[in-house]
A and B are shown apart, each in its own frame.
Chain A
């Protein structure tokens, strides 16, 4: 063993001992993924279920009954009857229902006139997403009812174009299947940055960096000595998250688990590199902490394509997402989990991660000078 190896091993051993002695690092690496995945895996779902719809029938008769019957029992919606429109509107204002369907008094009569009877649908547009889903659902129910009535009258209905849709990779539209991989990306960003954001700053603040510098250590070795232990810790956290995704949330893994870990290792390097860069530039735990809060969680949550579609963002925001490492990792994770070893997606994204990791670690190397000024 030469001196350089001995120095590096010594540093790594030191870092591990510190990790073991300070339970907060262990908590970040292992407790945080478990808590967050449990909370969000079970708690967060974009699948709207049992959206309450108000149903106002001003003059109940056979026609209105046949229409309301078409709403039936759906997993996604539940209808709540109201006697009159003002009551239903009040309920919507108070947030108890998301939409109101009104069949006017003259529904049956106008049904038989040429321009047809209006079915009034009032949706609460505040949550535009839910509003659109409600609209689609009501339209579907309406179409089914039309077909049904036509059939009863011995006619076939003229629905010209019919959509047969197939959602690939996630047939049941189970949102957990894409949320869990996305969450892993968010959690790994947090772990990577939080683990390392404070560690360099802490050495500066406690004065140990000064003592380290007056040894034959090269700065490269100081950085490696920080990177390797937290990398191992982070991979442990990752393994835990992946295990939970597979066996607790039953997310299908269609690609290779080795590829998953290889690309995750790349991402972890990027996240750790960012934390080290923050820590090196700030040199104070206070500023490093604030920077870590600002630069990690919200960008990874909102700009990674985890929830919001990147293609739909304006160009300048799309440009910003290119420096968010989580963006590439989310694409890789969703592909490996739901599609498979699709190299044409994984390679360019992995390349982007390599570039970002090189950038962050390179900047850290540049900024971490073996001088005190």
Chain B
């Protein structure tokens, strides 16, 4: 259980503060929506306040009610019960006054993609009534801050995700609002851009005293906030200083290594232990969080059957406290053992020597007009490997995936997946791969079972076998209770599960996952990766793209791409090693990534 004194020590103090010191006061707010025939309670009796002049993080898993809360605060929705005061105005009755004062960036940045950077700024300056005389200085300032000075004539649609996000922010800031609402500004954006966004936010708070309310699903960002509001399932879980929340877990976090078994096997063992709340692979070790009442772990008692085990205490992270809070709310995660036998081993007709090379890519290039999305890329993926592909938006990851899956012909170079080029191979060869696309592409108005049945039939699974697989999918992915729900109404985490289930119906040998965890909360991501690990243990080759640096740690090997080129390739440890310096003796994956990209950009600028 989470220690109760903590939440009490913070919230009451905030409530007693005089209201003119509050940027936002939410009291007893409830909000429900109808989706199809179901009533969904997005928010249930939520109360909290946001102080002026600080960054407050709105943290919560997917469908916790973060966006609803943001929209309520912006006067875009009316609460069913309770009231919201924004900068002293009532959100229900004085929404226009609020909208004239605050800056707001919706999830998709609110940019016109067919307008240039300058035109977008002009539009919002016009709408916000910024006097013409003040504009040149203001624009200079904003463009410089967003690093867009050189791109004013470029169409917003042609900017990278990170640049779009910064432009969106610049547009929201064009009139120096006292309160800034940012709805998941960092979703789907690479770590470098996220870092830059945070720098801008800090500068605003420091230089102009702006109040910021920012929602995010990235837990490492929570630690950057002055205060956090934790939402789960429409209810307020906690509210306070993230450092205090984090510190409550001190003494419960450890790193475990073993020279005897693989990290995945180790993780599986650890995760099954009742004393352990959470076990995660991190590079070459497994990071564990102990249950609240558990004794400090000893190698002998924790892992009696495994030799050469080392356990070291490590400092807690915010994510630990988040998981600790949520795990008691949700059912304890069941052990996941996927019964998966990759089909058609017999047809694996490649020569014995190369049998382990499941994917080979040589000098692969793809051009669109005179723009090269993928430039001369080569790599090899072996059987049973989890191979990660990291890169900023527009780095060429998705183009690479589409070529590997045979959806797009390469301009030059060669590629082999399971010994064939899927674009030209017989349709049956495609039965050996599974593909899960970025958007969890499902048929939104079909139910869960209908989606499963469709994909099992599309993969040619005949009657009885199809039924078995559908039953398997419903059970393994805990979808039985929502079997008849329309898949478009599912929460993102469930959509992701269903999409993975659909991609696994035919037990493929190779699995392609294109940003499979984007926008999904940490618990769902853990569960997802547990499944992926189980698959890898059974010999399935997995190729995955991701923005999450901690997910890069789960991979056996990974490659980092930028503007179509492959910058580096190696194990997570090797890549982190590249970033090691005197200042950074123990670099994180994010440090390594940011370092590689910046030096690449510096090279590009020099050339």
Stretch at the interface among B125-133, B211-219, B458-466, B522-530: B125-133
A336 CB to nearest chain B CB (Å)? 38
Q: Does A75 contact B (CB under 8 A)?
A: no
Interface centre among B74, B108, B111, B127 (most CB of A within 10 A): B127
Residues in chain B near residue A211, CB distance under 8 A: 104-106, 109-111, 168, 171-172
Residue of B nearest to A209 (CB): B110
B189 CB to nearest chain A CB (Å)? 16
B127 CB to nearest chain A CB (Å)? 4
Q: Assess whether A214 is in contact with B124, with CB atoms less than 8 Å apart.
A: no
Task: Tell whether A10 pairs with B123 under 8 Å between CB atoms, given A214-B104, A215-B99.
Answer: yes
Question: How would you classify the secondary structure of chain A's contact residues: helix, strand, loop or mixed?
Answer: helix
Residue of A nearest to B110 (CB): A211
Stretch at the interface among B112-120, B296-304, B434-442: B112-120
Interfacial residues of chain B within 82-123, with CB under 8 A of chain A in the complex:
95-96, 99-100, 102, 104-115, 119, 122-123
Q: How far is the CA of A256 from the CA of B114 in the complex (A)?
A: 40
Q: Does B224 contact A (CB under 8 A)?
A: no
Q: Assess whether A208 is in contact with B110, with CB atoms less than 8 Å apart.
A: yes
Q: Assess whether B110 is in contact with A21, with CB atoms less than 8 Å apart.
A: no
Q: Assess whether A210 is in contact with B119, with CB atoms less than 8 Å apart.
A: no
Residues in chain B near residue A373, CB distance under 8 A: 33, 77-78
Residues in chain B near residue A214, CB distance under 8 A: 74-76, 99, 102, 104, 106, 181
Q: How far is the CA of A372 from the CA of B106 in the complex (A)?
A: 12
Residue of A nearest to B172 (CB): A211
Q: How far is the CA of A6 from the CA of B78 in the complex (A)?
A: 29
Residues in chain B near residue A21, CB distance under 8 A: 114-115, 155
Q: Assess whether B111 is in contact with A213, with CB atoms less than 8 Å apart.
A: no
Q: Assess whether B76 is in contact with A210, with CB atoms less than 8 Å apart.
A: yes
Q: How far is the CA of A370 from the CA of B76 in the complex (A)?
A: 7
Number of interface residues, chain A, beta carbon within 8 A = 28
Q: Assess whether A212 is in contact with B77, with CB atoms less than 8 Å apart.
A: no
Residues in chain A near residue B129, CB distance under 8 A: 3, 6-7, 216
Q: Assess whether B122 is in contact with A18, with CB atoms less than 8 Å apart.
A: no
Q: Assess whether B115 is in contact with A14, with CB atoms less than 8 Å apart.
A: yes
Contact of B110 among A3, A212, A370, A372 (CB under 8 A): A212
Contact with B along A183-225 (1 / 0, CB 8 A): 0000000000000000000000011101111111110000000
Q: How far is the CA of A253 from the CA of B106 in the complex (A)?
A: 53
Residues in chain B near residue A323, CB distance under 8 A: none
Residues in chain A near residue B71, CB distance under 8 A: 210, 372
Q: How far is the CA of A343 from the CA of B59 in the complex (A)?
A: 67
Q: Does A13 contact B (CB under 8 A)?
A: yes
Q: Assess whether A10 is in contact with B126, with CB atoms less than 8 Å apart.
A: yes
Q: Does A9 contact B (CB under 8 A)?
A: yes
Residues in chain B near residue A208, CB distance under 8 A: 110-112
Q: Assess whether A10 is in contact with B127, with CB atoms less than 8 Å apart.
A: yes
Interface centre among A13, A206, A216, A371 (most CB of B within 10 A): A216
Residues in chain B near residue A213, CB distance under 8 A: 74, 76, 99
Q: Assess whether A7 is in contact with B127, with CB atoms less than 8 Å apart.
A: yes
Q: Assess whether A371 is in contact with B78, with CB atoms less than 8 Å apart.
A: yes
Task: Tell whether A13 pairs with B127 under 8 Å between CB atoms, given A18-B115, A213-B76, A214-B99.
Answer: no
Residue of A nearest to B128 (CB): A215
Residues in chain A near residue B172, CB distance under 8 A: 211
Q: Assess whether B114 is in contact with A9, with CB atoms less than 8 Å apart.
A: no
Q: How far is the CA of A14 from the CA of B122 in the complex (A)?
A: 9
Q: Assess whether A17 is in contact with B127, with CB atoms less than 8 Å apart.
A: no
Q: How far is the CA of A370 from the CA of B128 in the complex (A)?
A: 16
Residue of B nearest to A205 (CB): B108
Q: Does A162 contact B (CB under 8 A)?
A: no
Residues in chain B near residue A10, CB distance under 8 A: 122-123, 125-127
Residues in chain B near residue A18, CB distance under 8 A: 112, 114-115
Q: How far is the CA of A214 from the CA of B106 in the complex (A)?
A: 9
Residues in chain B near residue A210, CB distance under 8 A: 71, 76, 106, 110
Q: How far is the CA of A215 from the CA of B155 in the complex (A)?
A: 22
Residues in chain A near residue B122, CB distance under 8 A: 10, 13
Contact with B along A324-341 (1 / 0, CB 8 A): 000000000000000000
B560 CB to nearest chain A CB (Å)? 30
Q: How far is the CA of A22 from the CA of B126 in the complex (A)?
A: 22
Residues in chain B near residue A372, CB distance under 8 A: 71, 76-77
Interfacial residues of chain B within 27-52, with CB under 8 A of chain A in the complex:
33
Show 20 A/B contacts (Cβ-Cβ < 8 Å), sorted by A.
A10-B127, A11-B123, A11-B127, A13-B123, A14-B112, A14-B123, A21-B114, A22-B114, A207-B107, A207-B110, A210-B110, A211-B104, A211-B110, A214-B74, A214-B75, A216-B96, A370-B76, A371-B75, A372-B71, A373-B33
- Which A residues contact B (CB, under 8 angstroms)? 3, 6-7, 9-11, 13-14, 17-18, 21-22, 206-208, 210-218, 370-373
- Which B residues contact A (CB, under 8 angstroms)? 33, 71, 74-78, 95-96, 99-100, 102, 104-115, 119, 122-129, 155, 168, 171-172, 181
Query: Top 4 A-B pairs ranked by shortest CB distance?
Result: A211-B110, A10-B126, A214-B104, A207-B108
